[in-house]
Structure 1
Amino acid sequence: MPTGPQLPGVERSDAEDRIVCHVDADCFYASCERLREPELRGEPVVVGMGYEPGETVGAVATASYEAREFGVESAQAISTALERLPRRATFDADDADLERQETGHYRPVDMDFYESVAADVREILHDCADVVREVSIDEAYLDVTDRTAWGVADGFARHVKDRIRREVGVTVSVGVAPTMSAAKIASDFDKPDGLTVVRPGEVREFLAPLSVELLHGVGPVTARELREMGLETAEDVAATDPKPLVERFGERGRELYDRARGEDDRRVEPRGEPKSFSRESAFAEPVEEPEPKYDRIETLAAAVADRARREDALYRTVGVKAVTPPYDVNTREQSLPGPVDDPELVDRIARDLFAEFEDVAVRKLGVRVANLEFASSDQASLDGWETAGGDSRSDGDDRSGTDPDRSTDDRSNRANGQSSLTDFS
């Protein structure tokens, strides 16, 4: 069980009292595109590939809810999507068979940008929970048992949603339940921008009327086989003899039976060690003057170095992030000759890397340390660090997090098996 601040008078006695949140971003890739182009809000947006003239193969990565009303779906062939929702850029006002509002905006997949926005969300999640399991670029489980209580769980979940909306600009749906599987189902229950709380003792009642394909882990093939067995709802599965399920599906059959009854003893566990620590801070309005920006860099550098020291981590890379209007993410980093623990060095490098942005309008700043080592080891000599590593410069995603003066573990999505293109939110 995680340790951390707990509400006064709250005692935990058994697994049923666990409070699990499943946070799932709504149409995440499309939401990211709307960050860059606010005029896309409320418009049908399709993110995918293969829609440009001359391109013959492609698929939809995600479609906004407005686009889904036209029958556009994730993983759909782009040719089908274009038939159902023609591209706005090629709209011909003289086409009597087509109205402008029956067309949509198509955008190419930009994973670097999406992962940068996802890192901003992860920053908040790690600040709100002691244990976070990142499932994909746009969803995660949180164990918040020691952060809140069932009586106020809905308010806590709304706080998480509001922070993500306010500080990142995307909407998420949150499900809260005593188990991971029920929390997952609850987050899908009222999308988009949903919040569903299933309290202890209510899980089976909540699941009972749901069709079998809504059970966690049930896909179209399994759902069809369950219906062939005469099982249409979760309650049907929960009330049946589990033996035929095991005979048909093996051990997974028992798992389906248990989860239909609301039984799931899995605990939220993080995936691997963090790859970096980062802190970011946003200004209320873009700032051009150098002094407030360097003051913020100093604060962030001290905070991230302190986090590394508290976690007994050494680092080989120091980086900065500068987000300039409208939402251009710029990163700079410096590699060191060996693993170090040196807060003054972090501050010095961060200032040097940020120098090119000192006269540029900046809306958000970040400092990170990366290439972490948690095992004890000798620190490299700092003599000549300026020339040993070189300055790696790129305009893109620094895989870090966001939220004013907060810290986070920055785990690589791809290292966690999260490189799947399609966004099924």
Structure 2
Amino acid sequence: MAGETLPGVDDGDESGAPRIVLHVDMDCFYASCERLREPELRGEPVVVGMGYESGETFGAVATASYEAREYGVESAQPISQALDRLPRVETAEDPSEAGYYRPVDIEYYKSVAAEVKEILHDCADVVREVSIDEAYLDVTDRTSWETTPDGDRTLAEGFARHVKQRIDREVGVTASVGVAPNMSAAKVASDYNKPNGLVVVRPGEVRSFLAPLSVEEVHGVGPVTARELGEMGIETAGELAAADPNEVASKFGSRGRELRSRARGDDDREVTPAGRPKSLSRESAFAEATTDAEKKREVVSALAADVAERARSRGAMYRTIGIKVVLPPYDVNTRERSLSGPVDEPPLVEDVALDLLSEFDDEAARKVGVRVSNLSFADADQSSLDGWEAAGSESASAEAETDAGTTPAAAKSDGGTATRDSEGSPTLTDFEAEAGSRSEAESAAESESKAAGDADGQASLGQFE
């Protein structure tokens, strides 16, 4: 960017002026990446997921391009259902009514994301990377809310357009950007006009912008909460903003007050860089609940190896090893064992995980997972395995929130998120708990909204650095 003048930069003293926050959200990111290496896929229905490769019999959609969505293909959908609605080009009788299916290639997507993130960090002093395809930027010191001489747009809009154009020009993928004086409004704005959107919400206009939107558009409100608000007669953000705060708090506690504040356009959170993860986890669901102990052990062994490798690639050691076992209908059980010191020992992760799993040998499991936590990133000599004694197994079980009479949308686990497990279809989820606190509204909404894929229709396969 040497020698390039950023549009919208204002050198004046903006002390005390409203912040300028950008929420950058890549459009159908995995599909866009596939189109980068196969340009002939541009304009064609593209589905990225797992389960349709040779030898595999089940899986789920990670991302469906907008063209594929016209056929009813959605993120987190069983791949069998997607193929019924949109056949593969290779096997379709009518190729003009078929789509292009590609397997998930996370390492490639991460390499593309790294190019995008380099631009974001070049354009802002403070960047909070939320996931592989999403980030918040505080550009208060780079531009301003002043309008151009013709009064048609703000300098902040010009700056955001510059960010979009750089991503498109230098990387070759498109992004939707929301510009607002706070994080939650910027998030709503980026979702408002996808794909390739740019929506600016000026200071003083946030509440009026939000008011007519469905209450589910309020940042932090997921489908379960939206349904419960609907039962209270609250259908729009404006109605939530005007609701009796005591009534909302009595139903949802402090989280309810937070959601009402956001519906009113109030959000005083600062954009802060995400910290290192507190834990690293991996989980996988079975096509059907299984009592086959050997099958469960095979999956847990593979998950343990993957989690240990991810920890090593990040230079992380761990003090706690745990598993998660989901039993029908959706009873989430966790077991963990604490060690006497931090280690980097993949075989130990597998041994401990399998030992903990033995408790569930005779149980029908829908899903299993492996986690390492109490991470340490300090450069230090690795603790020796000699003389180690496990501090004992700490057991916990939790019921995941479910919609009455429906298939559960999501399971919550301490320090992570779980994507939707569609009935009869396995999913694979990576999750990393970020250091630092998140609000109740964010944590609760993540388990709801990520279950069905994000607003851009992309199922969450994890948050990557």
Pairwise same-fold verdict (TM > 0.5): yes
Query: Does residue 13 of structure 1 match 2:13?
Result: no
Q: Does 1:200 align with 2:195?
A: no
Question: Please, what is the CA RMSD of the aligned residues?
Answer: 2.7
- Partner of 1:13, secondary structure, is coil
Residue 150 of structure 1: SS of its match in structure 2?
coil
Separation (CA, whole Å) in 2 of partners of 1:89 and 1:32: 21
Q: What amino acid maps onto 1:138 in structure 2?
A: D
- How many angstroms does 1:53 deviate by? 4.8
TM-superposed deviation, 1:55: 2.0
Q: Whose RCO is larger (CA < 8 A, sep 6+)?
A: 1
Amino acid at match of 2:60: A
Summarize the alignment of residues 113-128 of structure 1 with structure 2, pairs less than 5 Å apart: 113-128=108-123
2:167 aligned with 1:172: no
Residue 8 of structure 1: how far off its partner (Å) = 2.5
Paired AA for residue 108 in structure 1 = P
Amino acid at match of 1:168: V
Query: Is 1:101 paired with 2:102?
Result: no
Q: CA deviation at 1:266?
A: 0.3
Cross-structure match for 1:221: 224
Q: Which residue of 1 aligns with 2:126?
A: 131
The answer as to 2:246 corresponding to 1:246 is no
1:110 maps to 105
Q: Which residues of 2 match residues 138-177 of structure 1 at below 5 A? A: 138-151=133-146, 152-177=155-180
For residues 59 and 11 of structure 1, what CA distance do their matches in structure 2 show?
A: 48
What is the alpha-carbon distance in structure 2 between the residues aligned to residue 203 and residue 169 of structure 1? 31
Match of 2:403 in 1: none
Do the aligned partners of residues 421 and 160 (structure 1) sit closer, same or farther apart at CA in structure 2, a change above 3 Å counting? farther
Please say if residues 28 and 423 of structure 1, whose CA atoms lie closer than 8 Å, have aligned partners that are also in contact.
no
Change over 3 Å in CA distance of 1:421–1:19 after alignment to 2: same
Shift of 1:146: 0.1
CA shift, 1:12, in A, is: 2.3
- Residues 340-359 of structure 1 mapped to structure 2, 5 A cutoff: none
Unpaired runs of at least 5, structure 1:
93-98, 275-315, 317-372, 378-412
Distance across 1 between alignment mates of 2:230 and 2:241: 14
The aligned residue for residue 232 of structure 1 is 235
The C-alpha deviation readout for 1:45-92, integer Å capped at 9, x for no partner, is 000011135422200000000001111111011011001101112123
Cα deviation for residue 242 of structure 1 reads: 0.9
Matching residue's letter, 2:222: G
Secondary structure at the aligned position of 1:89 is classed as coil
Residues matched between the structures, number = 280
Name the SS of the counterpart of 2:24 in structure 1: strand
Offset at 1:273? 6.9
Query: SS where residue 244 of structure 1 aligns?
Result: helix
CA distance in 2, matches of 1:39, 1:69: 19
Counterpart in 1 of 2:59? 58
Q: 1:183 to 1:55 in 2, by over 3 A?
A: same
Q: Distance in 1 between matches of 2:233 and 2:190?
A: 27
- The secondary structure found in structure 1 opposite 2:90 is helix
Q: CA deviation at 1:222?
A: 0.5
* 1: CA distance, partners of 2:432 / 2:257: 31
- Name the counterpart of 1:346: none
**Contact preservation (8 Å) 2:53, 2:103:** no
Query: Contact 1:246–1:253 (CA<8 Å) still a contact in 2?
Result: yes
User: Please, which runs of 5 or more residues in structure 2 have no aligned partner?
Assistant: 1-7, 147-154, 278-314, 316-376, 381-430, 436-445, 457-465
Equivalents in 1 of 2:178, 2:233: separation in Å?
A: 29
Paired position in structure 2 for 1:83: 84
**2:451 and 2:181 mapped to 1: Cα distance?**
30
In 1, the alpha carbon distance for the partners of 2:109 and 2:452 equals 12
> Which aligned pairs between 1:35-74 and structure 2 lie closer than 5 A?
35-74=36-75
Q: Which residue of 2 aligns with 1:320?
A: none
Give yes or no for contact 1:32–1:114 (8 Å, CA) kept in 2: yes
**1:177·1:197 contact (CA, 8 Å) conserved in 2?**
yes
Q: Confirm or deny: 8 A CA contact 1:29 1:423 kept in the other structure.
A: no
2-structure distance, mates of 1:8, 1:46: 46
> Matched residue of 1:106: which SS?
strand
Change (3 A) 1:38 1:415: farther
1:218 & 1:56 partners in 2: Cα distance? 35
Q: Distance in 1 between matches of 2:452 and 2:257?
A: 30
Once the two structures are superposed, what CA deviation does each residue of 1:173-209 show, in whole Å capped at 9, x if it has no partner? Answer: 0000001000000000000000000010000000000
Percent identity between the aligned chains?
70
Q: Within 1, Cα distance between the matches of 2:139 and 2:220?
A: 23
Q: 1:69 to 1:6 in 2, by over 3 A?
A: closer
Distance in 2 (alpha carbons) for counterparts of 1:10 and 1:62 = 44
Give TM-score scaled by structure 1 length: 0.62
Alpha-carbon distance between aligned partners in 2 of 1:21 and 1:177, rounded to the nearest angstrom: 7
* 2:25 maps to 1:30: no
Cα distance between partner residues in 1 of 2:434 and 2:71: 34
Q: 1:270 aligns with which of 263, 269, 273?
A: 273
How far 1:141 sits from its partner (Å)? 0.2
Contact 2:14–2:144 (CA under 8 A) maintained in structure 1: no
Mapped contact 2:9–2:159 kept (Cα < 8 A): no
What displacement does 1:250 show? 1.1
SS where residue 201 of structure 1 aligns? coil
CA 1:12–1:83: 2 relative to 1, 3 Å:
same
User: How far apart are the structure 2 equivalents of 1:54 and 1:271?
Assistant: 39
CA contact (8 A) 1:10 1:149 kept: no
TM-score by length of 2: 0.57
Q: CA deviation at 1:414?
A: 5.6
Specify the alignment match of 1:181 in structure 2.
184
Q: Secondary structure at 2:119's aligned position in 1?
A: helix
Alpha carbons of 1:234 and 1:30: their partners in 2 closer, same or farther (altered >3 Å)?
Answer: same
CA distance in 1: counterparts of 2:41 and 2:52, whole angstroms: 18
